[in-house]
Amino acid sequence: MPEKPRYWFAAKRYGWGWGLPLTWQGWVVYLGWFAAFFGGLVALGLRRPSVLHFLYVVAMVTFLATVCYWKGEPPRWRWGDP
């Protein structure tokens, strides 16, 4: 019997996407992402937002969404518990 995959991120109960992490690996990704995200924004400078800020945010969000898609429950629209 094949082993059930262990997801790092749970699917949201309502809507599409993922919620909080389920495993320590997910928490490491989550907290590391927040540290890198805000640290990067501070390093880029907060006084004058630029195109570089926008590209950085897009890259970081894309990275997190990719990890969640790869290691999380399959995404689909959910309407709550069955």
Residue 75: name the closest of 15, 4, 24, 28 by CA.
Answer: 15
Phi and psi for 30 in degrees, rounded to 5? Answer: -60, -50
**How far is 17 from 61, CA to CA, in rounded Å?**
13
The pLDDT of residue 76 is 86
pLDDT in tens for each of the 82 residues of the chain?
566 678 999 998 899 999 899 999 999 999 999 999 999 999 998 888 889 999 999 999 999 999 999 999 998 888 876 6
Decide if 17 contacts 9 (C-beta within 8 A): no
CA atoms in the 13 A half-sphere facing the CB of 56: 17
